[in-house]
Structure 1
Amino acid sequence: MKSPLDLLDSADTPALLDRPAPTAPADLTLRRGAARVLIGNWTGTSTVPSRTLYPHQWSWDSAFVAIGLRHLSVRRAQRELESLLSAQWADGRVPHIVFNPAVPHDAYFPSPDFWRSSSAGRVAGAPRVPETSGIVQPPVHALAAWLVHRADPAESRRRGFLARVRPRLAAWHDYLLTRRDLGGKGLAAVVHPWEPGMDNSPCWDEALRRVDPAPAGAFRRADLDHGHPADRPTDLDYGRYVRLAADYRDAGYDDAAAPHRFAVEDPCFNALLIVGELALADICRELGVPDPGHTARAARLTEALVDRLWDAEAGLFRVRDLHTGAPVDEKGVSGLVPLLVPHLPADVVRRLHATLTGPDFRATGTDLVPSYALTGHAFDPTRYWRGPAWFNTAWLIQRGLTTHGHHEDAARLRAGLLDQAGGSGFAEYVDPLTGEARGARDFSWTAALALDLLCDPKGATP
């Protein structure tokens, strides 16, 4: 019987030739399992997050997938990112969903006929094909492109990978730093709870109360066909999501004209933008072209992040609601992800580390990081982003711990991620207290990031 690794074309597997396989039997089993998930979720041009719940291409999912795929096939990892970026809008935005036309519309909601990107988004520069959503997700893509390049620089140079993606990545960041600077203070704003990727976080509750939900009969929740209602957002919250998306669509996806009843500055989103700017500076150096300002922009963004969102008393970064101008009094994992930023002030790093290892986020049952404070009033260990531990945020925080020299805690988090990924069947997320698998199984970014930590144990490829 063939191993999942054997299912990749030989032309797709140069990265396997120069990377030693794990020697421990458990690691080899986990590696094969992760490869099986990624191969099974590959569509021919990109990777779906899940064959059941998420049958299209998602933006930050694809970035995380590429990070893991680089250890199996650099060429396939490149194609993952290139496929996503080919759906970029003329204004620079990278849509959060690229729809597969072969998938029936009723397989997922909101479907292409809801977003109507090619018509409603025409003025904003949406492509005629493929159909996409009109909102965005966190900018992990430049970091992913740089890591994919570093996995096999010779192959990357031969194919001109960085030269092709750099202009698109730069345009993507330009969009966020101009059209999405809704607060006028240098940070990118998100205009829908789906944009920061942590859809149902209690950090959005206060802002969402301003939004009148769409009528229950105006939409059908396809997510409940594949997920237990106790794990998913409530009908009330979902109705608000639909209303926000419809209002944005009806404004032609114009960031200046849309009402934006939900508009916040999110720490994770902006931390990833900073890291992406630094990755773009690395890409410019690799290509031998002048840095047009990415390093300087990263420094300005870091200063704005600390000035606007850091809460020294709480020991983490807060979401800022742009309608009230005030920070949101909730402790979400988004406030810890800026540990990923390399040039934070030392006292900020020290306090973030203390918060991460303290009673709010130290989930000793799994060694993972809950998505919301264990001590928080809204903590729920099973409901989407209101407490469960996710593998992508664990990977980001593990990388941040390594960046700032907290190697013992980074190793503990790495071990917890690998243990829970394999033990849960590569679940979408887990109960942070018990490790019980929740959401979809055979989830792509769980497999990809486990594979990355197996092949890059320190979690900090240069």
Structure 2
Amino acid sequence: MTRQTATARTAGATSARAAATEVLLANWRGDHTVPAAGLYPHQWSWDSAFIAFGLRHVSPRRARLELETLLGAQWTDGRLPQIVFDPAKGAEYSPGPSFWRSSEIPGSSPVASTAGFVQPAVHAWAALAVHESDPSGSDRARFLERAYPRLVAWHAYLAERRDRGGRGLISIVHPWEPGTDNSPLWDTVLATVPDTPRDPFDRPDLAHAGDGERPSDRDYGRYYWLAERYRDHDCDDHDDAYPFLVEDPLSNALLARSELALADIAGHIGADPAPHRARAADLTAALDQLWHDDLGIHTAADTRTGELVPVATVNGLVPLVLPGIRHADRLVETLTGPGFLGSGARLVPSTAVTADAYDPRLYWRGPAWFNTSWLVAEGTCVQGRPDIADGLRRAIVDLAAPGDHPEYVGPADGTPHGTRRFSWTAALALDVLHGRRS
């Protein structure tokens, strides 16, 4: 590398850091960061975890507060809600606080209006990373000591209330819960759900994305029907007739990864790490039930029947983050094969390009997302393939700022889609720029 090239790269990295930092500062709301100022005006659960990974490089204190605000909205049963609503912005997102009426639900957060669903458990992993960015400040604030019991309760909720199939795997109860909203993984079970909710629904998302980029009104009808059913049963996870129960590889892998982080947190504060390591090992082993050998990837299963969904998606690649996951070599082959990076994709397609359901513009049915590509990069490092991780990390940086930190991109050409100035895109680009490694 010539001195001129090195200087140009340094200048480019400096500019990219400044751009990403500006997005996070603009989306900061005093005690949390909104995912995007227009479309997403509240605090989202797994968004805040991903945001904390990057925000810690700007202000460890704010990163701690980001997670503490979310943890402070915890329900008495231990769940961390999908959304913590800003009362001043209630009418700007649907379904909002007037839909959920969480204050009427027994055991809901006593301090905040929230949704009743949850999102993947990335929070302990994020909390550990935030601590490690500023150990002395974290220790002075007793950050880990205060976060640990809440994180333990959160994981216990998932393990005790969401193992609906009795197979040692947690189930999702709505397509919004794993964050991959309209993935083809949910199609078969979702087809059994009515698309006729009682409540009328708005589509503010359509003002922030082009034609053909968002789920259909019929999909949203089913989403709302499920949300009504869950809400009207007081978000009770023991509703035997509830029609949507799916075991998702992404949600289970991230819970296992966060159990490993909880073990490290326990070690920091003088608690016993052994139970967390044991639970991580049990979850890692249980994920083998979601292995689809013909596709060479983990996939989702209908919780009631155990039947696997024969579709390859990015959800099934996320178990790479787990040391000791079976079929790791085969999973790396799938990642680098024609369905994913072998297709010429720069970031990981959300649905394999070889799948019948693939659409490069339609939300989680093809476009690439920065958070899942970041997770896969972390996973390939765990599996001893830093070469793959380096390529994905370069693409994260190269595609973030030029597209004004888009929500998602075309996997091959990097064309930005969705809303812009998206917080986790900026945060994870910033994390890569600061040289994070697993």
**TM-score calculated relative to the size of structure 2:** 0.96
Per the TM alignment, residue 313 of structure 1 is displaced from its structure 2 partner at its CA by: 2.7
Query: Is the 1:56–1:98 Cα contact (8 Å) retained in structure 2?
Result: yes
Query: Is the 2:36–2:423 Cα contact (8 Å) retained in structure 1?
Result: yes
Per the TM alignment, residue 35 of structure 1 is displaced from its structure 2 partner at its CA by: 0.1
Per the TM alignment, residue 416 of structure 1 is displaced from its structure 2 partner at its CA by: 1.0
What secondary structure sits across from 1:231 in the alignment? coil
| Correspondence for 1:106 | 91
| Correspondence for 2:157 | 175
Query: What are the within-5 Å matches in structure 2 for residues 312-461 of structure 1?
Result: 312-345=293-326, 348-362=327-341, 365-457=344-436, 459-460=437-438
Query: Is the 2:145–2:269 Cα contact (8 Å) retained in structure 1?
Result: yes
Aligned match of 2:74 in 88, 94, 97? Answer: 88
| Correspondence for 1:9 | none
Between 1:318-327 and 1:349-358, the stretch displaced more is: 318-327
**Structure 1: runs of 5+ lacking an equivalent:** 1-21
Query: What are the within-5 Å matches in structure 2 for residues 121-132 of structure 1?
Result: 121-122=105-106, 125-132=107-114
Which portions of structure 1, spanning 4 or more consecutive aligned residues, are displaced by more than 6 angstroms?
none
Per the TM alignment, residue 100 of structure 1 is displaced from its structure 2 partner at its CA by: 0.3
Deviation per residue, 1:82-104 (Å, 9 max, x gap): 0001100000000000000111x
**Cα distance between partner residues in 2 of 1:342 and 1:113:** 43
What secondary structure sits across from 2:219 in the alignment? helix
**Cα distance between partner residues in 1 of 2:81 and 2:397:** 30
**Number of corresponding residues:** 431
Between 1:282-291 and 1:440-449, the stretch displaced more is: 282-291
Q: Counterpart amino acid of 2:269?
A: L
Query: Is the 1:363–1:433 Cα contact (8 Å) retained in structure 2?
Result: no
| Correspondence for 1:46 | 32
Aligned match of 1:58 in 33, 44, 53? Answer: 44
Between 1:350-359 and 1:311-320, the stretch displaced more is: 311-320
Q: Counterpart amino acid of 2:35?
A: P
Per the TM alignment, residue 310 of structure 1 is displaced from its structure 2 partner at its CA by: 1.2
Q: Counterpart amino acid of 1:51?
A: A
Aligned match of 1:198 in 139, 163, 180? Answer: 180
**Cα distance between partner residues in 1 of 2:81 and 2:396:** 28
Query: Is the 2:297–2:331 Cα contact (8 Å) retained in structure 1?
Result: yes
**Cα distance between partner residues in 1 of 2:110 and 2:64:** 23
Aligned match of 1:72 in 46, 51, 58? Answer: 58
What secondary structure sits across from 1:54 in the alignment? coil
Deviation per residue, 1:158-215 (Å, 9 max, x gap): 1100000000000000000010000001111000000011001011111110000125
Per the TM alignment, residue 257 of structure 1 is displaced from its structure 2 partner at its CA by: 2.5
**Cα distance between partner residues in 1 of 2:150 and 2:433:** 30
What secondary structure sits across from 1:245 in the alignment? helix
**Cα distance between partner residues in 2 of 1:46 and 1:79:** 7
| Correspondence for 2:4 | none
**Cα distance between partner residues in 2 of 1:317 and 1:412:** 23
Per the TM alignment, residue 51 of structure 1 is displaced from its structure 2 partner at its CA by: 0.3
Between 1:23-32 and 1:357-366, the stretch displaced more is: 357-366
**Cα distance between partner residues in 2 of 1:372 and 1:278:** 28
**Cα distance between partner residues in 1 of 2:325 and 2:239:** 35
| Percentage of pairs with the same residue | 52
**Cα distance between partner residues in 1 of 2:217 and 2:9:** 48
What secondary structure sits across from 1:405 in the alignment? coil
What secondary structure sits across from 1:24 in the alignment? helix
What secondary structure sits across from 2:77 in the alignment? coil
Query: What are the within-5 Å matches in structure 2 for residues 275-294 of structure 1?
Result: 275-291=257-273, 293-294=275-276
**Cα distance between partner residues in 2 of 1:258 and 1:424:** 45
**Cα distance between partner residues in 2 of 1:215 and 1:183:** 27
**Cα distance between partner residues in 1 of 2:412 and 2:193:** 33
Query: Is the 2:75–2:110 Cα contact (8 Å) retained in structure 1?
Result: no
What secondary structure sits across from 1:130 in the alignment? coil
Per the TM alignment, residue 219 of structure 1 is displaced from its structure 2 partner at its CA by: 1.5
Q: Counterpart amino acid of 2:379?
A: G
Q: Counterpart amino acid of 2:100?
A: W
**Cα distance between partner residues in 2 of 1:164 and 1:206:** 42
1:144 aligns with 2:123: no
**Cα distance between partner residues in 2 of 1:139 and 1:261:** 23
Query: Is the 2:182–2:365 Cα contact (8 Å) retained in structure 1?
Result: yes
**Cα distance between partner residues in 2 of 1:30 and 1:129:** 37
**Cα distance between partner residues in 2 of 1:191 and 1:182:** 10
Q: Counterpart amino acid of 1:395?
A: W
Query: Is the 1:118–1:129 Cα contact (8 Å) retained in structure 2?
Result: no
| Correspondence for 2:3 | none
Q: Counterpart amino acid of 1:59?
A: S
Query: Is the 1:248–1:259 Cα contact (8 Å) retained in structure 2?
Result: no
**Structure 2: runs of 5+ lacking an equivalent:** 1-7
Q: Counterpart amino acid of 2:87?
A: P
Q: Counterpart amino acid of 1:368?
A: L
What secondary structure sits across from 2:73 in the alignment? coil
Deviation per residue, 1:126-179 (Å, 9 max, x gap): 023310000000000000000001111111111100000000000000000010
Q: Counterpart amino acid of 2:399?
A: Q
**Cα distance between partner residues in 2 of 1:388 and 1:135:** 24
Deviation per residue, 1:235-294 (Å, 9 max, x gap): 000000000000000111110126321110000100000001000000010112223611
Between 1:215-224 and 1:390-399, the stretch displaced more is: 215-224
**Cα distance between partner residues in 2 of 1:295 and 1:444:** 31
**Cα distance between partner residues in 1 of 2:308 and 2:429:** 34
User: Given the superposition, is the C-alpha separation of residues 403 and 350 from structure 1 closer, same or farther in structure 2, using an over 3 Å criterion?
Assistant: same
**Cα distance between partner residues in 2 of 1:179 and 1:154:** 36
